[in-house]
Structure 1
Amino acid sequence: MPPEVGFQNIVFDKGKLNDLAMLCFDAVGQWRTAQILDQIKELGFHYATRAGVTFSFDDIVVPKRKDEIIAQADQEVKKITDLHQKGGITENERFGRVVDQWKKTTVRVTDEMMEELSKTRNGLNSIYMMYKSGARGSKDQIKQLGGMRGLMDKPTKIGSTGGADVIETPIKSNFKEGLTVLEYFVSTHGARKGLADTALKTADAGYLTRRLVDVAQNAIITIEDCGTTRGVNMTALKEGNEIVQTLAERIQGRTAVDDIVSPITGRILVSAGEEISNKMARTIQNHGLISVHVRSILTCEAEKGICAKCYGRNLATQKPATIGDPVGIIAAQSIGEPGTQLTLRTFHIGGAASTATELAEVVASHDGIVKFDRMNTVINTENQLISVSYLGKILIVDENDENKVLEEFKVEYAATVHVQDGQKVAKDTKLLSWDQFNNPLISTAKGVLHYENFIKDITYKEEYNDITMARELTIIESKDRRKQPQFRIVGEDGTVRLIPLPTGLIVRVEDGSFVHIGDILGQTSRMTIKQRDITGGLPRVQDLFEARVPKDKAKISDIDGIVTIGGLKKTGRDIFVTPPNGLFAPCDGKVVVLYDEDKNQYIAVLPDKAVYSENDGKVSIIEENRKKIIQVAKRNQNPVQYPVPKGLQILVKEGESVKKGTPLCGKLYAVPPEQESIVETGDNVTMHQPLAGRKYIIPSGKRIIVHQGDYVESGDALSDGPLDPHDMLVKGVIEAQILILNEIQEIYRKQGVKIDDKHVSVIIRQMFKKVRITDSGSTSFLQGDIVDKVLVEKENREAIEFGKTPAQFEQLLLGITKTSLLTDSWLSAASFQETTKVLTKAAIEGRVDHLEGLKESIIIGHRIPVGTGTKLYNNMLKKAVNEGKTVAQIIDEFAHRSKEEESGDYLDF
């Protein structure tokens, strides 16, 4: 080891060797590191040859307690089956529990085997050494040699994207003991699946890489600093109770937006605009900072390409990115390559189901004070606090500063809450727990429950347990849209609570039974068997990159406001959201809904002092002593006069015919456009009750995840289902970008693949480049044009400068194929897809290609505008020749120039 690195007295496995290479790279540079690695390789091969490590059949260790563990599992499975036969649990629940039991058993057997393996020959068992060093093999593969193969996937149809079902009978044998005929037969499913997937998915992954390269090929580092003051907040990444990526790992190599100040010493740890080194990142984490504001590719304001400060560290050189780095190509290949690799992973394990059972509880990872946010809870008969909202969160805040949120947890509907609002908790305190197999439906009212719209084989199906003959009702998608099944709970005081029922709900209460608050009325199955091979993952990654609308997506509120659940229609159930500054009843009273000639809607609230006509007749409005009076008179009869009370408006028009009992005046309000009346004529309302709101129709059978009176924010889901990134644009561009980023990263993380956020961010940045012009103003654009956002903003600035009207536009989210075809370079688009169409369109429009990207430059035979092919480098080369200096000296001079000059150096290729 060189003196700069020092003597390393540790056992080197794969990870440690990686760390050593990084350590050497930082200390002595690339050339010396290559030599050191070469020497390590020589050393390794020398001793590997001398040691003669090999493995044989006898090196595989079968754990001594294996039979005992499997016998215990068989007992547990028998209990579950008995419970099901007595009608205690549903078929779905039984399947889920059995699968979960075998999954846990497989883990126990594996752990026993690894424990024994590590102790044989004092840890020098050749299979164990091979696995432990990271040279070859995984725990999953060794488990099949000496533990038990476990659960297998059912064969699925080719092209299906869902997580495959699992065969609930596990393979209890391992390869050393040998499989029984039946077990071997079940195994062949998995082996065939692995081979088929390998063949099919390699092509898919290759095509994804091609599309990614095409969309990102012109993403190049063009300037040193775009000067933006925007960025994103980085926090540690958590999945359940586990920290997947620490804050230090996420911020190293990024640029700080503001000064990062230590909450302990008050000292500035990193100045604004400075790169956060690895050492500094660890210091920031150790000083207790939970969130850090850093520059991001998503918020970079460079006109062309990306700036070096927003990109941060180049992961290939571990140095800051430099002008001319082809970061787009690097990003595309970094994302595409694991896809190709991962398709082969199923093949090794041979279709063994890796059942990821979700943890059904949440614990605090900090000391602090509990704060409930938008939580609705009820207390059940067992005195437990149950969450009945889908939007609730539990925050853990600092004891000394309530505004400092240490962590936050989304609260599942029907979760049991183990803490109180304002309670002081220590680290590892259990906060929440829930049923991991079922989604229960909780009663929020006390009273007698009645079935409503329960029609056999139209709104529900009836099944009988084979053994107990107990009846089981399951809600099905209604064949009659007007008949939607619901529970009607009538309280002791006569109040009625209606609860709409989602499709798939298994009813757990009888018609006419008495229910209490917090009782479980029914449940839908929550299957947590998730396939871990990328068969399910790759299609989802493609859907996200292509910005496809997910099936059965959630309905999202695009305004903040209060929820009112409306009645049932043929199309589904209406939900209204009334904004905080919207229309609310000013007092108690009756409602009248009115329309004018243009079909505009008005709502009148009639308070106690409202005036009603006491006779039939025609209306005339007169004014006496500055007070308005309404006269109603029949022909040849004396008119009846009705003075208009103060604060009320006239609801009738001059010359209108009215009948006895017609309201003549009340408090009148115009319903804002894009909103509708929530109330109907004749309804009684109370003060502050919402009168109008934005209308959303939730299709029948979908679970509504908000309650009457809930406060929702724009971007909150009103029904269950996956979120559509297009809808999330109401929350803002950054929120939609981060949603896509997190979803893509989650898929890769589940495969055990690490991809840096910045690679995915480069692709997402390209997907959000375009906008659609909605009003051209005084600019050169036309309404409906799809253009680069940067161009519109530039022209808008010029328009405002000269006092003209800027263009109005809406943000677009386009998939990678569409983005590639809409690129400014017609050469690049034509060489990608739809060649004839692209070339014809370019010819008709007389378009010019400025050869700014890599692809078009290669096609024409130009030098590509990256690295030494940049105009900047070319200018330096000319300068070096003219001044008789080396290029290195000129680059040195350039590096010392002021930042103002740097930021102007765009790559005008």
Structure 2
Amino acid sequence: GKQGRFRENLLGKRGDYSARSVIVVGPRLRLHQCGLPKKIALELYQPFIIRRLKDLGHADTIKSAKKMLERKDAEVWDILEEVIHNHPVLLNRAPTLHRMGIQAFEPVLVEGNAIKLHPLVCKGFNADFDGDQMAVHLPLSIEAQVEAHTLMLATNNIFSPSNGAPIISPSQDVVMGCYYLTMSMAGRRGEGMVFRSFAEVEMAHSLGKVDTHAIIKVKLSEGRCEIDEKGAVGEPGAITETTAGRVLFNSILPESMLFYNLPMRSSELAKVISDCYQLLGRRQTIDLLDNMNRVGFSWSTNSGLSFATDDLITPENKPEILNKADKEVSKIRKLYSRGVITDGERYNQVLDTWTHVREQITKEMMDDLKQDTGSSNRYAGYVNPIYLMAHSGARGGVEQIRQLAGMRGLMAKPSGKIIETPIKANFREGLTVLEYFSSTHGARKGLADTALKTADSGYLTRKLADVAQNVVVTMHDCGTTQGIEKTVIYRGEKVEVNLADSIRGRVSRTNITNPITDEVVVEEDQLITPKLAREIEALGLEKIQVRSPLTCEAPLGVCRLCYGMDLSTGSMVEEGMAVGIIGAQSIGEPGTQLTMRTFHIGGVGQRDIEENEYKSKHVGTAKFTRLRTVKNEEGEQVVLARNGEIAILNEKGREIDKFDIPAGAILKVAENDKVKQGTVLVQWDPHSIPILSEVAGKVRYEDVVDGETLRVEKDPSGHIRRMIMEHKGVYHPQVVLEDESGKILDFYYLPEKAYIEVSPGESVKAGHILAKTPREASKTQDITGGLPRVTEIFEARKPKDPAIMAEIDGKVEVSGEKRRGKRTIIVRNETGVEREHLITHGKHMRVHAGDIVRAGEALVDGPLVPHDILRISGEEEVQRYLVREIQNVYRSQRVEIDDKHIEIIVSQMLRKVKIDTVGDTKLLPGSMMDKHEFRQANEQIAECLRITDKGDSEFEVGTIVPKDVLAQNNESIEALGGTPAKGTKPKPATASTQLLGITKASVQSTSFISAASFQETTKVLTEAALAGRVDNLVGLKENVILGHLIPAGTGFNTFQTSEVRVRPEALEALRIDREDLLARDFPLLEAAEQTEEELAAGAEGLTSSGSTSIGSLPESPNSPGEGL
């Protein structure tokens, strides 16, 4: 375990020269600095100080120097200042979930015992100042210092590698200050004044002639354009209507940036940072961040915002809304007691009512808060601080304000079921004892979850890191011709991920052309930048083929083109980057975030309002596929099959939208109708799934046996309800429809928990509801469903109660006979091939006799089994399924992760193949091996021939001989007048791809050292010893265990073998041109000027890692020569 030899001593070692202390905020630090207590610095830099004391002649021996240190003599402090100059330290906050958990800073000496941390880097460390501690480490060797400086300095970690969003971005006070500064208010002092320049505005503002929020006009400097809230860009140098505060805010931005004429919320600030980076590069961005930080804090202070009970406004009509809801609920209860609806339906409708009420109160509350400004009954210039904090994104959100000022809403029981009686009060009004009691469930569940899930999530991260640890970018181009398809992703009605976001940072697999003009927008193998992605989206293309780690054919790791952009720099990924580990961190880190999410909202039932209709999002024509309908008593068209689709086509007949239609839905449009945007296409009852008659006939029950399969319930009102109960396999309850003569016209299986709505002997028309199955009574969705689901997918486990999938395309037949208590669905295709599918009883069938199904389509309800998808639909489909399912879990929690990280893990899960037939290779049938090894084995024999006629050669018949050897041999035989040998093409081996869970994939890793350090150590080592396996040390873990440099990053082979020399004349030219930049980028060269030998030592230090230090500074296209 954790204490064992591998994990305790080989993978984790203790480091000397480290310290730990509590952190406090250091708002006056620059971004790359941290405050280091003098006591810590004295201890950490001890050997450097001692050496300096000896060099300067203050001490003769090491012992006397140590004495001086203990006495803390005056000289010591001067030398300490000198020694820490340009010698960065590493700060680390546990738990280190991703690479931003360790960053380098330039130390600044501070009094006291606490480490000072820049407020903007907190997000990366996930740190706050409520008593967190951090550890300090000191890089000793010159190589370590260069790496810390050029790769790990906080200023190099501006963007998150998991999704490319700025991770150093203002939060809390800074956002509040910037938002307050850029708000506008009518009727303030100085409104309507016109100014010639920013300087004039600043002057008038500082003299008190114009208020911060006053609406004024100002002329922009030449070449500067404004951008407004809608994102429209104005003319350069125009006179624009803005506020004094916005002028002050924009004056901290570099001249060449736009004039942002809008209130700065946290999302806008993040956009400003990204814009600055893309336009002007990293250096300017860092200055901007520091300035933003300064302005935000000072305006937070000036605003004098506070948080008072009176600022929490409860809507005046709240009692009215609640009364209406109470009446509604009692109406639902009456319906239930009269037996019109089932208990499940009653429960769901009650929850729906309260969910709607909560939404309504929240909406009114937010409107009231928004309108609560100076013009109301408060003092002049008042703006509701609570609305300001939430709206700006500084702190809190609608969820939290709702609980303080609206209504707390529905709560969940420990089981996850929602309690029907909501908490009508909010925290401002105070809870009654009963309400307080029902809140305690949720609160306690939140705390328990947090404790349990953190461990689970940590374990998931460890498994992911282990399976992907040897995925490193090893080459530029693997030369594959394959790729995957990227499309827009919808969730119900809304676009969840637009095309631009799903293709940016990828490399295009084909030429992407403008469909109208046929001009090439992106060439094959070209990186799609965010700008190009937006252009492609504007062309209206639906699907784009891109390169992906899933289809990469690099023998080790992945190639640059298949991976695409390194999201943390915005440029093409470098060779040697450990993308596997980064992927594992990107997926694992939010896992812990997700686990902690329940804690903050305090177990409030989160229920989405159920969807019950589809509306068209576009103008077009409705086209039906596989929709079988029947008219019901009201004359409406009701959909029968569950796999029908409605597509919307545009004028050219291209499909622009598609909806899967549930059974029992009522069609609101006819085929080929023209639909507008917002036209309702279908509606359905979200709480129950109906079973409808397709023909008219007389009802007879089959296998509906009281007490065995049927439970008769009496409602409180005395109504009798018939429900199919869970039963053993002999019975298959069904409703049979017969004609007068007793001939069977049709039969319908009744799943468990179905309520029968017809009586025996009753005559029904087509489209009549025979039975209803309630949809699952809704449970709260929180990541409790999420994290285990992620683990389940990555472990490729069989879900419980899985769906059965059609093995081939064809037409469905349902056979009446039962075997071993199971029903049979037969799928027969055109050529007459048929496959039988055994269905356990009690399952709800998704298909009816006569339906056309595709291979891989679910025949009954339930989750799909990834192994089945792989077997039936192939590798591509299972890859798509796994990536989609994982993303669904994270997106439902609003966590953004780039697909490529998940694709790397999925490609590792599909890395092994199982040999089916061996052909003429030397492989063993049934053995598992790496895909690439398998491909190599086949490629090897493709270059050979199998001898069929030996002629006068020495080859035996049936041996495999390389073509060139045979040709040479035959030449010499022919020269002597003999008969040459003849051969045929050898048979290649065949294999099927295997899907392994991440744990299994790690244990079956090609490196036994890495597998042994993961799990089942003894087993792995004994098996490796018996097989006499050899470890080639290609991954990261095996090298760490043996104490080698890891073959990634600066340790990557190319960098280790190439040489870097300093060219004196180039250095001289640089010195003259860009002295200031040199000092900032290569402080070591500055220091090295003192002596020639030190310059040599410095050059040596640069040799080992100089290539990376120069190569990895992000080159931005618009700033020539940035980062040398």
SS in 1 for 2:544: strand
1:595 paired residue number: none
* Greater CA drift, 536-545 or 709-718: 709-718
Note the C-alpha offset of 1:24.
1.3
1:423 paired residue number: 673
1:795 aligns with 2:937: yes
Matches within 5 A, 1:692-731: 693-729=834-870, 730-731=872-873
1:815 paired residue number: 997
Q: Residues 457, 877 of structure 1: CA spacing in aligned structure 2 closer, same or farther, 3 A cutoff?
A: farther
Do the aligned partners of 2:1055 and 2:1107 also contact (CA within 8 Å) in 1? no
1:874 aligns with 2:1084: no
Q: Which amino acid aligns with 2:1036?
A: L
SS in 2 for 1:694: strand
1:434 aligns with 2:684: yes
Please list every run of 5 or more consecutive structure 2 residues that lacks an aligned counterpart in the other structure. 1-252, 375-381, 945-984, 1068-1101, 1113-1124
1:361 paired residue number: 613
Note the C-alpha offset of 1:76.
1.1
1:531 paired residue number: 780
Q: What is the rounded CA distance, in whole Å, between the counterparts of 2:744 and 2:450 in structure 1?
A: 61
Note the C-alpha offset of 1:311.
1.3
Q: What is the rounded CA distance, in whole Å, between the counterparts of 1:883 and 1:717 in structure 2?
A: 71
Q: Residues 352, 462 of structure 1: CA spacing in aligned structure 2 closer, same or farther, 3 A cutoff?
A: same
SS in 2 for 1:168: coil
1:129 paired residue number: 388
Matches within 5 A, 1:754-769: 754-769=896-911
Q: Residues 65, 890 of structure 1: CA spacing in aligned structure 2 closer, same or farther, 3 A cutoff?
A: closer
Q: 2:705 aligns with which of 445, 450, 455?
A: 455
* Greater CA drift, 253-262 or 717-726: 253-262
Do the aligned partners of 1:356 and 1:530 also contact (CA within 8 Å) in 2? no
Q: What is the rounded CA distance, in whole Å, between the counterparts of 1:807 and 1:852 in structure 2?
A: 27
Note the C-alpha offset of 1:3.
2.8
Q: Which amino acid aligns with 1:486?
A: Q
Q: Residues 280, 386 of structure 1: CA spacing in aligned structure 2 closer, same or farther, 3 A cutoff?
A: same
Q: What is the rounded CA distance, in whole Å, between the counterparts of 1:99 and 1:211 in structure 2?
A: 39
Do the aligned partners of 1:60 and 1:145 also contact (CA within 8 Å) in 2? yes
Q: What is the rounded CA distance, in whole Å, between the counterparts of 1:779 and 1:203 in structure 2?
A: 46
Q: What is the rounded CA distance, in whole Å, between the counterparts of 1:892 and 1:703 in structure 2?
A: 61
Q: 1:733 aligns with which of 872, 875, 878?
A: 875
SS in 2 for 1:461: strand
1:903 paired residue number: none
1:839 paired residue number: 1021
Do the aligned partners of 2:591 and 2:787 also contact (CA within 8 Å) in 1? yes
Q: What is the rounded CA distance, in whole Å, between the counterparts of 1:5 and 1:59 in structure 2?
A: 37
1:488 paired residue number: 736
SS in 2 for 1:857: helix
* Greater CA drift, 200-209 or 165-174: 200-209
Matches within 5 A, 1:82-93: 82-93=334-345
1:541 paired residue number: 790
Do the aligned partners of 1:96 and 1:527 also contact (CA within 8 Å) in 2? no
Q: 2:913 aligns with which of 771, 790, 798?
A: 771
Q: Which amino acid aligns with 1:512?
A: G
Do the aligned partners of 1:436 and 1:528 also contact (CA within 8 Å) in 2? no
Note the C-alpha offset of 1:4.
3.3
1:12 aligns with 2:264: yes
SS in 2 for 1:421: coil
Q: What is the rounded CA distance, in whole Å, between the counterparts of 1:858 and 1:850 in structure 2?
A: 13
Bigger proportion of residues as helix? 2
Q: What is the rounded CA distance, in whole Å, between the counterparts of 2:634 and 2:923 in structure 1?
A: 66
Q: What is the rounded CA distance, in whole Å, between the counterparts of 2:926 and 2:305 in structure 1?
A: 69
Q: What is the rounded CA distance, in whole Å, between the counterparts of 1:889 and 1:199 in structure 2?
A: 44
Q: What is the rounded CA distance, in whole Å, between the counterparts of 1:427 and 1:279 in structure 2?
A: 29
1:751 paired residue number: 893
Q: Which amino acid aligns with 1:709?
A: G
Percentage identity across paired residues of the two chains: 43
Cα deviations by residue, 1:825-851 (Å, 9 ceiling, x for unpaired): 111111111111111111111111111
Note the C-alpha offset of 1:522.
0.9
Do the aligned partners of 1:357 and 1:528 also contact (CA within 8 Å) in 2? no
Q: 2:398 aligns with which of 124, 130, 139?
A: 139
Q: What is the rounded CA distance, in whole Å, between the counterparts of 1:557 and 1:881 in structure 2?
A: 68
Q: 1:506 aligns with which of 742, 751, 755?
A: 755
Q: What is the rounded CA distance, in whole Å, between the counterparts of 1:699 and 1:882 in structure 2?
A: 80
Do the aligned partners of 2:686 and 2:775 also contact (CA within 8 Å) in 1? yes
1:176 paired residue number: 428
Q: What is the rounded CA distance, in whole Å, between the counterparts of 2:635 and 2:485 in structure 1?
A: 40
Note the C-alpha offset of 1:542.
0.7
Do the aligned partners of 1:779 and 1:795 also contact (CA within 8 Å) in 2? yes
Q: Which amino acid aligns with 1:551?
A: K
Q: Which amino acid aligns with 2:861?
A: D
> Given the two structures, how large is their TM-score scaled by the length of structure 2?
0.67
1:621 paired residue number: none
Q: Which amino acid aligns with 2:455?
A: A
Do the aligned partners of 1:326 and 1:866 also contact (CA within 8 Å) in 2? yes
Do the aligned partners of 2:475 and 2:575 also contact (CA within 8 Å) in 1? yes
SS in 2 for 1:703: coil
Do the aligned partners of 2:547 and 2:562 also contact (CA within 8 Å) in 1? yes
1:336 aligns with 2:588: yes
1:804 aligns with 2:945: no
Q: Residues 374, 793 of structure 1: CA spacing in aligned structure 2 closer, same or farther, 3 A cutoff?
A: farther
Matches within 5 A, 1:100-115: 100-115=352-367
SS in 2 for 1:154: coil
Note the C-alpha offset of 1:569.
2.4
Q: 1:166 aligns with which of 397, 408, 418?
A: 418
Q: What is the rounded CA distance, in whole Å, between the counterparts of 1:873 and 1:378 in structure 2?
A: 71
Please list every run of 5 or more consecutive structure 1 residues that lacks an aligned counterpart in the other structure. 157-163, 584-692, 896-909
SS in 2 for 1:449: strand
Q: 1:564 aligns with which of 797, 803, 813?
A: 813
Q: What is the rounded CA distance, in whole Å, between the counterparts of 1:46 and 1:345 in structure 2?
A: 32
Q: 1:443 aligns with which of 687, 693, 712?
A: 693
1:575 paired residue number: 825
> Given the two structures, how large is their TM-score scaled by the length of structure 1?
0.83
Q: What is the rounded CA distance, in whole Å, between the counterparts of 1:827 and 1:138 in structure 2?
A: 48
Note the C-alpha offset of 1:335.
1.0
Cα deviations by residue, 1:776-824 (Å, 9 ceiling, x for unpaired): 2222221121111121122112223322221121111111100000111
1:782 paired residue number: 924
2:977 paired residue number: none
Note the C-alpha offset of 1:422.
2.4
Q: What is the rounded CA distance, in whole Å, between the counterparts of 1:242 and 1:167 in structure 2?
A: 30
SS in 2 for 1:498: strand
Q: What is the rounded CA distance, in whole Å, between the counterparts of 1:443 and 1:338 in structure 2?
A: 48
2:623 paired residue number: 371
1:38 paired residue number: 290
Q: Residues 575, 367 of structure 1: CA spacing in aligned structure 2 closer, same or farther, 3 A cutoff?
A: same
Note the C-alpha offset of 1:277.
1.8
Note the C-alpha offset of 1:527.
3.4
Note the C-alpha offset of 1:307.
1.4
Q: 2:454 aligns with which of 202, 205, 226?
A: 202
Do the aligned partners of 1:876 and 1:891 also contact (CA within 8 Å) in 2? no
Matches within 5 A, 1:235-314: 235-314=487-566
Q: What is the rounded CA distance, in whole Å, between the counterparts of 1:129 and 1:719 in structure 2?
A: 50
2:17 paired residue number: none
Q: What is the rounded CA distance, in whole Å, between the counterparts of 1:191 and 1:283 in structure 2?
A: 48
SS in 2 for 1:370: strand
Q: RMSD of the alignment, in Å? A: 2.2
Do the aligned partners of 2:470 and 2:1034 also contact (CA within 8 Å) in 1? yes
SS in 1 for 2:422: strand
Note the C-alpha offset of 1:505.
0.5
Q: Residues 824, 533 of structure 1: CA spacing in aligned structure 2 closer, same or farther, 3 A cutoff?
A: same
1:66 aligns with 2:314: no
Note the C-alpha offset of 1:375.
2.2
Q: 1:551 aligns with which of 783, 788, 800?
A: 800
Cα deviations by residue, 1:853-907 (Å, 9 ceiling, x for unpaired): 1111111111111121111122322698999999799899999xxxxxxxxxxxx
